[in-house]
Structure formats: structure tokens, C-alpha cells
Amino acid sequence: MNRRLPGAALALAFAFSAFAAGEPGGMKKRRPLPHEYGRVVIDNGSTAAKLPPVVFEHWAHRGKFTCRLCHVDIGFGMSPGSTRIKAADNMAGYYCGACHDRKRKFDGGTVFEACQKMPAGFPPRDTCYRCHSYGKDVKPMDDFASVTRNLPRGRFGNGVDWEKAEQDGLIKPVDFLEGISIKRQSFTAQKDFALSPKVESMPEIVFSHAKHTVWNGCELCHPEIFVGVKKGTTKYTMVDIFEGKYCGVCHVNVAFPMTDCQRCHVKAVR
Amino acid sequence: MTGPGRWRAIAVAAAMAGALPAAAPAAPRMAAPAARADEGWRAEFEDICAKTQDAMALSAEELRSLVERSDALLPILERLPEPERKVFTKRLQACRNLYAFVLETKEKR
């Protein structure tokens, strides 16, 4: 084995620990449990409306829909709070209301309605708490254990290898929503390519366009996240990624996390 | 603006002149998704954004035309009521930026 490898691994571990433990006051950040990974808490107007904030679970949606469908066609932003969703938007058939409208059928059932107009002064209905569940003991409609029971195991994140689940046909994420999506022709994915790490003797990264385009299409990543037009033009480091930039936009909180080094650094050390 | 992009922009602007009168205080702000389909801008938006998956296969001329058409449509979408404005300007920007990105890639080759 190359003698520089332990040093490189140590440098990477240090970089990771610096960001994983990056809570104010030096408190170590708790790693989320599998069912908590990818959770987004949304409080644009909930507290002001005397409702608990919304808890959105990525795991409950990502086995059913591609990232592209929600983040491109429906228009959800890529960072928490950036979309500024309002109840009125949902009621008008946008954002959560694009699917959750009590009309759309999915998996043999009708999708529940996201928000309903309530007369002033009326208390929230029980159905409001399906989503406005932060801090409340709400029984979820989808149980994490039963949803993920038959899916291939992953080491980190949700503890599920979502990519393999898709490859094996165990999940079939929908990429078209009638009335929202645009009919497109099938496309040919761009070629995979290798990236050389800046730390000598780290295994090379093999980036798979084919795997990424299944979930993301093209415009989710280009040019907003990766602006470089030529391989190597967009300069970034592991520190940037741990800060949630570039690959870290997805691979810190939702897609398999950065702790799973070998998922990207796959090429044998020369 | 030149070429087919200009004529499409004129056609869309003409359609929108009828769809969005200057004084429209009673315009529905919470239109149901089904009601959106008939609006003139929607067909142009869908035609522009239907090609994102083929962006790498398009010629520089086609990409340039798509960027021009996006730039012509954007001010029309900016006049839509919320939340349509927010959703569709974001979607159009994503398409436009992808085409511009691919065009730049091709021109630098």
C-alpha cells in the first residue's frame, strides 16, 4: 500500500470532523438517525398561523419521484426555506399542492390535500397535522421501517442504497406529472468521467453522468451548481463540499452522505 | 433578436396582450392547474423547455434561438400573478441557463 495513504485519510478525516462537529460553542452535532436523514423543517408562516412547522421527509418521497420532478418541474428550491411556500400556493395547486390536491391518484389511492381554506377562528383540523407535525406525536402515514424494509442496505444516511434500489427496479421513481411536467424525448446521458483528488494517493473519483441524470436530468445541476463548461473548470475542495456547495448541495443532507467516502472515491490507488 | 425567435416572441406577446389586460384586478390568483393550460405563454414555455434533455445534441444555432425565445418570454412570465410568476420564471430560467451553458460549452470546444 502506498505509504501516503494513511496521511491522506487522516487529512480527510480531520476535514470531516471539523465540519461534522461544527456546531456553535463547540458542541458536537448529532448524526441524524436513518429515519431523520433528509428531513426538512419548514416554517414560512406556520408559527405565525399558530400551527407547528411542517416536517418534510425526503425518504417518503424519493422512492416514488425523481429529484428532478420536484426540484425542476414543481420548482422546489435546493435549500431549506428558499422556496418560501405559502398555504395559498398549495391551495392553488403549486408546490406541495401540485400532488397533494385530493384529486391526483397514486399507488392506488387518492393523494391527500395539502392545505385547505379555513374560516377565521376555526381550530386546525386533524389533517393539518399530517404535515404540520414538528414537535407533535403524529403517527406518520408511511412508516420508515416498512417503506425501507425490502430495499438494499446502505451504510449511512437513511441506511438505504437508493441508487441500487433504482437500478434493481425495486423502486421506480416517477419523472412525469400530468399537468405539471413537459413531455420530453428520451435522452442520451453524457459520458462518465474520472476526477483526480487534490490529496495525493486518494482513490480517484468516478463521476457517473448516467446515474445522476436518472434522478436529476440536466438543469438541476447545470449551470446552477456546476457552472464550469469543461472538466476541471469548476474548482472546489472537500471543504466546499462539506459546506454544502457543489456535490454537497445534495450529498450532505439527502443523497448518500460524505461519510460514505468509497461511493465516490472508487478508483484504485495507482 | 433575429430569426424564428423574434416571430415567436411577437406571437406570444400578441397572445398575452389578450390574456393579460393591463387593468385586471379580478384576475384569479389561485387558478386551478387545469385552467392554466389554455394560456398563450404556456405553449411557448413548454416548447422551449421540452428540449432540455437534448441540449447537448442541439446545434449552436438552435441553442441560440432557444436562449432568445427564453429572454423574450421571461418579461411576460414576470407579469403573471403569484405563485405562477415565481414557479414559471424559475423553471424558465433553469431551461434558459442550461441552453446558454451548453452553447458556451460548444463554442469553447
DSSP string computed for chain B: --THHHHHHHHHHHHHHHHS-S--TT--SS--HHHHTT-HHHHHHHHHHTTGGGGGGS-HHHHHHHHHHHHHHHHHHTTSPTTHHHHHHHHHHHHHHHHHHHHHHHHH-
Amino acid at A94: Y
pTM of the predicted protein model: 0.81
Q: Do B83 and A89 touch (CB under 8 A)?
A: yes
Cβ neighbour number for residue A107 with a 10 Å cutoff: 6
CB B69 within 8 A of CB B41: no
- The residue of chain A with its CA nearest to that of B33 is A93
Helix (H, G, I), strand (E, B) or coil at A105: strand
| B101: chain A residues, CB-CB within 8 Å | 222-223, 227, 229
Q: How far is A192 from chain B (nearest CA, A)?
A: 15
Mean pLDDT on B23-47 = 58
Q: Look at residue A140 in the predicted model and tell me its pLDDT.
A: 82
Q: Do A229 and B97 touch (CB under 8 A)?
A: no
Percent pLDDT > 70 in chain B is: 64
Q: Do B52 and A224 touch (CB under 8 A)?
A: no
Name A110's bridge partners: A105
Q: Look at residue A270 in the predicted model and tell me its pLDDT.
A: 58
Comparing CB atoms, the residue among A72, A179, A229 nearest residue B94 is A72
| Structural element, H or E, at residue A8 | helix A5-20
Question: Regarding predicted confidence, which is higher, B13 or A61?
Answer: A61
- The average confidence (pLDDT) of chain B is 77
pLDDT tens, position by position, B64-95: 999 999 999 999 999 999 999 999 999 999 99
CB A174 within 8 A of CB A64: yes
Question: How many angstroms separate the Cα of A72 from the Cα of each of A57, A68, A200, A214, A219?
Answer: 18, 5, 37, 14, 8
φ and ψ of A65, to 5 deg: -135, 150
Q: Look at residue A1 in the predicted model and tell me its pLDDT.
A: 44
Q: Look at residue A25 in the predicted model and tell me its pLDDT.
A: 56
CB A167 within 8 A of CB A176: no
**What is the value of ipTM here, to two decimals?**
0.83
Q: Look at residue A268 in the predicted model and tell me its pLDDT.
A: 73
pLDDT per residue of chain A (270 residues) written in tens, 0 to 9: 455 555 555 555 555 554 544 445 567 778 899 999 999 999 998 999 889 999 999 999 999 999 999 999 999 999 888 999 999 999 999 999 999 999 999 888 999 999 988 877 788 888 899 999 999 988 888 899 999 999 999 999 999 999 999 999 999 999 999 999 998 877 677 778 888 777 777 888 888 888 898 899 999 999 999 887 666 677 888 999 999 999 999 999 999 999 899 899 987 765
- The residue of chain A with its CA nearest to that of B38 is A179
Q: Give the single-character DSSP code of A65.
A: B
Q: Do A187 and B37 touch (CB under 8 A)?
A: no
Separation of alpha carbons A67 and B15, rounded Å: 33
Separation of alpha carbons B6 and B48, rounded Å: 14
Q: How far is B100 from chain A (nearest CA, A)?
A: 9
Whether residue B7 has pLDDT greater than 80: no
